Amino acid sequence: MCGIVGYVGQRAVQEILVAGLEKLEYRGYDSAGVSVLADGEIASVRAVGNLSKLRAAIDTSVAEADAAPVATITRPATTGIGHTRWATHGRVTESNAHPHFDTSDRVHVVVNGIVENYLVLKERLHDMGADFTSETDAEVIAHLVSHHMARGSLVEAVRAAYAELEGHYAFVAMSADEPDTLVGARKECPLVVGRGDGEQFLASAIDAFHAYTLDVQFVQDGELVVVRPGGVEFMDAEGTPIQREITTLDWSASTAEKGGYETFMLKEIHDQADAVAETVGYRTLRADGVDLGELELDESLLDGIDRVLILAAGTSFHAGLIGRYAIEEWARIPVEMDIASEWRYRNPIVSERELVIGITQSGETADTLAAMRLARERGAKVLACTNVRGSSATRECDGVLYTRAGQEVSVAATKTFVCQVATMYLLALRLGELRGTMGRARRTELVAEVKHLPSRISELLEGLDAPVKAAAERHADSSFFLYLGRHVGRAVALEGALKLKEISYIATDAYAGGEMKHGPIALLDESTPVVCVATDMPILDKMISNIQEVRARGAHVIAIATVGDTRLDDVADEVISIPRTDWMLQALLAVIPLQLFAYYVARKRGLNVDQPRNLAKTVTVE
Ligand code: F6R
């Protein structure tokens, strides 16, 4: 996820910007930059790589400026904007890094998100004489604002530009002609103001400035904000002023680093809408399909495959299992699965017409890496699905599909899991298109639903904590939980059970609903909570029969169901509902209450969920 930080005030801005960007590092990035304004001029420094590279570039620029007759970045600038970029449109290069600027270098912008109509705008601006210096969609905003400034102030120009932009984004603009002013605009992507005394901050997340102030004002969707040292004005897209109250956060230093949540795990559960938006956004720009032909993936890798094999460990294996169902359903390619640590030791058979997908969020799990290496040695094409750029997995493969969850601090995988699942949906959709197994109408429908997943996650998370916490606290003393599900619901059940045992140290088991009567049913009595994944799907009736079998043993049924589905009312003791979407996509949503459930059971038992015993975030030893 890209990060934005802006500042106007009295202090030297450079350090505030870079320190703010460091606080956003966990979101992931591949390049960064800052622009600062002083004496009617803007100076900019950008660098590929991590923020130490940006710091080094700033130092070089300062040294050069010291030696030059005209100082650039050394001026005591007190207004500026900064950005960490994760490449979507255009390669990872210095010229593609933000801030972007107009032809006269008078307007600089930092942008998060995606401008969907950038090609049309770019052509028009180009015809009017704009000189583009990057391959990004974001740069059009700088030229567009500059174009509109010919007829008005920065805020009027931003408003005019905003009216022409399509997509989902947040940006902050600064003009050399208007010192001490930043103008921000928000369409779906977050933007928040930090209020100080004679100074103001504007960022994509509070993390960027919480060291300076906890007085915040949230920019709402469809709003613009003008930020000056002495005050802040909010307005809607028509320019009508809006009053926005200041919220004072009661964050301690330790909750501040967790974005106000009591633990990283809870924060990361709540980060999931953003993480999925970041993962699917730029790949779903086309209404009738998904585009994966990105920097690291040559799509010819997907040609001529007659079988897919997914290899992974733990939570990543469960994401793969959902991927299996989606690929088989939508692309009609047979998919095999195995746990990497098993597959690599069974003298496996693979062919050149096989696509092996290694899923590993860290990119460092030894068994998954070894399995990918072996598959390649035996002639298969290997695709890595990972969250970490430059990780070992990216070197043991023929192509990479990145999840863009940002850094996950808690040991329990949550946001990386939903992003892996989202990536599997995207791959399945693309394979379906390439193989002609899905008509355009069905693809269009599914792409629209995938695009809506982030808003459905937000909808789900709103108000979910209290009921899930209450349910978790009711059952936190149980010594055993059984999880059941069928089809994709089974993968969700497996993941729910793993999460609970991993962080609460309670024994759990997860079974396919239809398998329960073949043994595990013996475990059930009145004291057993049974978590049943019963979202709306073609075989929900079968799952309901399994739930009846559970009830017949007197066990307590906690069902995860689709909102409005009354079929569970008579058979479940407790129902937690998720929003309705395509049944295959509901698997991604259904896991979220189970993550929270595991979380609150563990918290009730007084456990450290961020760092459970015996676990490490990445497994590099065999
Ligand atoms: C569970 C969890 C683990 C990992 C597994 C694989 O919350 O985090 O089960 O999923 O160790 O890790 P990666 O995906 O890094 O290969």
- Establish whether 267 is a catalytic residue: no
Write the pLDDT tens digit of every residue in 434-454.
999 999 999 999 999 999 999
d(CA 250, CA 260): 8
- For 546-589, give the secondary structure using H, E and C: HHHHHHHCCCEEEEEEECCCHHHCCCCCEEEEECCCCCCCHHHH
Minimum CA distance residue for ligand 1 atom 5:
314
500 lines ligand 1 (CB under 6 A): no
d(CA 504, CA 609): 8
Residue 505 has pLDDT above 60, yes or no: yes
CB 557 within 8 A of CB 530: yes
Phi and psi angles of residue 229, each rounded to the nearest 5 degrees, phi first? -55, -40
pLDDT > 70: percent of the chain: 96
Q: In angstroms, what is the span from residue 585 Cα to ligand 1's centroid?
A: 22
Q: Can you read off the two tokens belonging to residue 313?
A: 């460990």
pLDDT for 128 equals: 94
Return the ∠ at Cα 456 (arms to 453 and 462), rounded to 5°: 145
Mean pLDDT of the chain: 92
Rounded average pLDDT over 153-157: 97
Question: Can you list the positions of beta strands (E) in 9-90?
Answer: 31-38, 41-48, 79-85
Rounded average pLDDT over 445-467: 96
Minimum CA distance residue for ligand 1 atom 3:
314
Rounded average pLDDT over 297-302: 86
Report residue 68's pLDDT band, with 50, 70 and 90 as the boundaries. Answer: low
Ligand 1 atom with the smallest distance to the CA of 416 is: 14
Report residue 188's pLDDT band, with 50, 70 and 90 as the boundaries. Answer: confident
pLDDT for 617 equals: 67
Q: In angstroms, what is the span from residue 409 Cα to ligand 1's centroid?
A: 12
Residue carrying the six token digits 């599909």 = 401
CA 149 to chain centre: 34
Write the pLDDT tens digit of every residue in 198-235.
999 999 989 899 999 999 999 999 999 999 999 999 99
Ligand 1 test: best mutation among 264, 316, 322, 414, most atoms within 8 Å of CB? 316
- 586-604 vs 465-475: helix crossing angle, rounded to 10: 50
**Residues recorded for the chain:** 622
Strand-pairing partners, residue 188, are 169
Ligand 1 test: best mutation among 341, 365, 369, 502, most atoms within 8 Å of CB? 365
Q: Which of 76-90, 469-483, 567-581 has the lowest mean pLDDT?
A: 76-90
CB 403 within 8 A of CB 419: yes
- Closest alpha carbon to 142 in 195, 83, 102, 112: 102
Cα atoms in the Cβ-side hemisphere of radius 13 Å centred on 405? 30
pLDDT for 69 equals: 52
Rounded average pLDDT over 367-377: 96
Minimum CA distance residue for ligand 1 atom 9:
314
Residue 613 has pLDDT above 90, yes or no: no
- Establish whether 617 is a catalytic residue: yes
Q: Can you read off the two tokens belonging to residue 391?
A: 């990780």
d(CA 551, CA 106): 70
Phi and psi angles of residue 528, each rounded to the nearest 5 degrees, phi first? -95, 115
CB 485 within 8 A of CB 595: no
Rounded average pLDDT over 235-240: 96
CB 560 within 8 A of CB 594: yes
618 lines ligand 1 (CB under 6 A): yes
Catalytic residue among 2, 189, 397, 419: 2
Residue 72 has pLDDT above 60, yes or no: no
Residue 249 has pLDDT above 90, yes or no: no
CB 36 within 8 A of CB 110: no
314 lines ligand 1 (CB under 6 A): yes
502 lines ligand 1 (CB under 6 A): yes
- Closest alpha carbon to 322 in 418, 447, 450: 418
Strand-pairing partners, residue 534, are 561
Q: Can you read off the two tokens belonging to residue 153?
A: 């102030």
Rounded average pLDDT over 364-372: 95
412 lines ligand 1 (CB under 6 A): yes
CB 384 within 8 A of CB 360: yes
Minimum CA distance residue for ligand 1 atom 10:
315
| Residue 402 DSSP label | E
d(CA 121, CA 118): 5
Q: Can you read off the two tokens belonging to residue 298?
A: 């040559």
- Count the neighbouring beta carbons within 10 Å of the beta carbon of residue 254: 8
93 lines ligand 1 (CB under 6 A): no
Write the pLDDT tens digit of every residue in 509-564.
999 999 998 998 999 999 999 999 999 999 999 999 999 999 999 999 999 999 99
Strand-pairing partners, residue 236, are 223
Residue 472 has pLDDT above 50, yes or no: yes
Ligand 1 test: best mutation among 322, 361, 502, most atoms within 8 Å of CB? 361
Ligand 1 atom with the smallest distance to the CA of 617 is: 8
d(CA 599, CA 502): 10
